[in-house]
Chain A
Amino acid sequence: MNERNEMGADKAFAEKAKKLFDESVEDLDGQTRSRLNRGRQAALEELTSAKPVWVHWAPAAGVAAAVVVAVVLWSGNLPVDELTPEASAADFEILLTEDSFEMLEDLEFYSWIDLDEDADETVETEDIVG
């Protein structure tokens, strides 16, 4: 009996709530109705201008590609050019020694010696042949 009363009260409560809610829906102002109408038209345009599925994923794919490129650049995993010699500690030592700078200053002298040695070798060869 008590349970039936409770159920009846629940039902009456729900009915009153529904009635009040419906009234508040009917009382929506013109501006709100107009905005709803515009939203609906925007939704219906989705049907007429249906785009392929991939178009919706294009921005995400673009971002993913950019992230992959950034990660590759960041981690330095770029393909190494086989012709480029690897820099070693010895190269830096050569560059930093004082002798190297002296050699650069006397570059003309060293090139002259080099040419002179070549000329001597040529002469010696001709002598042997001759």
Chain B
Amino acid sequence: MNACVANFAVSCESRCRTGVSTLQREQELNRFLAEVEKRALRIAEISVRDRDEALDLVQDAMIKLARKYADRTSDEWTPLFYRILQNGVRDWHRRQIVRNRVMVWFRRPGNEDNDYDAVAAAPDPKGRTPDEQLQSQEAMQSLEVAVGELPARQREAFMLRTFEGLSVAGTATSMGCSEGSVKTHYSRAVHSLRETLGEHWQ
């Protein structure tokens, strides 16, 4: 009888511990995602040039991270999350190429899909004068266009290193390449951007 009670107590305790650890994990993951989601959205948005598509890509990345890698240490989450997101962005571009090939047969002349307007999509002012805000928006818009025109690997390296602030090792994990490749892609990206944007931007 006593043995039964003891077993029951042990079983309850382990279940409670599992429940607590799941709750802790959920809280940790919530903190991580809340911290990273806005920057991830802007990075995805610069890559695909569409906010709705970027929101879908970020949500997919969050769900995949939670489903597959929630049990990993929180240090591993950042490179893993960006790796999932970058794969999603690459898949999106592949689908776009196929879609464009198909749509070119159905598109009427003069019906170009140029809905994206970074200035119109720009957010409300926050404590800056309208001139400062306009200058920042214009500078960011130029940067976005220039970054969007970089080759895919250079764009990834630049955004992960500069915008997300990942280390070379973290960027290499996210991109699935060597640290040497990251350094090369990043260096080429910076030189190319400086050349494209010119002295005035700086």
Cβ-defined partner of B37 (8 Å) among A14, A23, A36, A56: A36
Docked CA distance A87–B124 (Å): 82
Contact B66 A46 (CB under 8 A): yes
Q: Which of under 10, 10 to 19, 20 to 34, or 35 or more describes the interface residues of A?
A: 20 to 34
Given contacts A14-B162, A21-B162, contact A43 B190 (CB under 8 A): no
Q: Are B193 and A46 in contact (CB under 8 A)?
A: no
Counting CB contacts under 8 A, is A4 at the interface? no
Chain A residue with the shortest CB-CB distance to B61: A43
Name the residue of chain A whose CB is nearest to the CB of B38: A25
Does residue B22 face the partner (Cβ distance < 8 Å to A)?
Answer: yes
> Any chain A CB within 8 A of the CB of B11?
no
Tell me what chain B mostly uses at the interface: helix, strand, loop, or mixed. helix
In addition to A18-B162, A27-B126, A35-B55, 14 A-B residue pairs with Cβ atoms within 8 Å of each other are A14-B190, A18-B163, A21-B140, A21-B162, A23-B136, A25-B38, A27-B122, A27-B123, A28-B41, A40-B62, A42-B62, A43-B33, A44-B33, A47-B66
Give B contacts to A, CB under 8 Å. 22, 25-26, 29-30, 33-34, 37-39, 41-42, 51, 55, 58-59, 62-63, 65-67, 70, 122-124, 126, 136, 139-140, 143, 161-163, 165, 187, 190-191, 193-194, 202
Residues of chain A at the chain B interface (Cβ within 8 Å): 9-10, 12-14, 16-18, 20-21, 23-29, 32-33, 35-36, 39-40, 42-44, 46-48, 56
